[in-house]
Amino acid sequence: MTPTTSILTSAAASETVTDDDGRRLAIRRLTALDRLRLFKAAGPVLAQNQPWLGMALIASSVNAIDDVPTPTPANEAQIEAMVARLGDSGISAVAQALQQFADLTAAELLDNAGN
């Protein structure tokens, strides 16, 4: 596998978590382009609102609920609709999974630093 293929594969990889309501949520780590598009969808004011943006990033990481694909939110109303759809249970499950992604990434960086 080439380095480019490896990077693209890891970026597109998704993980499935189950929330307290029993829903299967497929999530993926957002790419730089995904985050840029989210900033555009949020608009200049909300993109600077850290609590709102954090919740939007979590909600935008979900790409399927119970194996039904969900479109990436493209505007403020769609972002808020996804947050409402996920609710506290879904947001919490996704946030925990994304934190594990971040912890794993940090560990991988430390492991690779010696190579």
For 27-67, write each residue's pLDDT tens digit.
998 999 999 999 999 999 999 999 999 999 999 999 999 99
The SS3 of residue 47 is coil
Q: pTM, whole model, 2 decimals? A: 0.77
* Inside any domain, residue 69: yes
Q: pLDDT value at position 18?
A: 96
* Inside any domain, residue 7: no
User: Looking up tokens 């609709």, which residue turns up?
Assistant: 81
- What pairs with residue 62 in β-bridges? 27
The SS3 of residue 16 is strand
Rounded distance between C-alpha atoms, residue 113 and residue 115, angstroms: 6
Give the residue with greater pLDDT, 113 vs 40: 40
Domain that includes residue 20, residue range: 14-113
Strands (E), the chain: 14-18, 24-28, 62-65, 68-69
| Count of domains forming the chain | 1
The SS3 of residue 62 is strand
User: Looking up tokens 């996704």, which residue turns up?
Assistant: 94
* Inside any domain, residue 40: yes
* Inside any domain, residue 6: no
pLDDT mean over 78-99? 96
